[in-house]
Amino acid sequence: PAIIHQARHVVNNIYVDDRIKNYILDIIFATRDPGASGLKELAPYIEIGASPRATIALTKAAKANAFTRGRGYVTPDDVKQIAPDVLRHRIIATFEAEAEGVAAAQLVQQIVNRVEVP
């Protein structure tokens, strides 16, 4: 239907500042190399971090989150709120994490809570 196409067009045109783009990149990089992001205590728990495509997915989801809040721009809170839903299935936890009951969603939340917000 036309209304869906219109909504998609509006969401695709939501503004994302370069600082927010870098924030998203920092979150994704932190899943891939926690030690280099100052989160070395998480490194033993992440086998495989989020792929580069996760950057695209998180950006699109943050735009949609902003849209649902009636804004034409993305805020760090849009990213923080949606990141666990976007990333938890894109991270493979180690056996050690599973043995200690640490879920991928918890890892994502810790990363989001600790990556510097612009």
pLDDT in tens, the chain (118 residues): 788 888 888 888 899 999 999 999 999 999 999 999 999 999 999 999 999 999 999 999 999 999 999 999 999 999 999 999 999 999 999 999 999 999 999 999 999 999 999 9
Q: What CA dihedral angle connects 61, 62, 67 and 73, to 10 degrees?
A: -150
Split into its structural domains, the chain has a count of: 1
115 close to 22: Cβ distance less than 8 angstroms: no
Residue 5: its pLDDT value, please? Answer: 86
What's residue 56's pLDDT? 96
Domain housing 55 = 2-114
CATH code for the domain of 38: 1.10.8.80
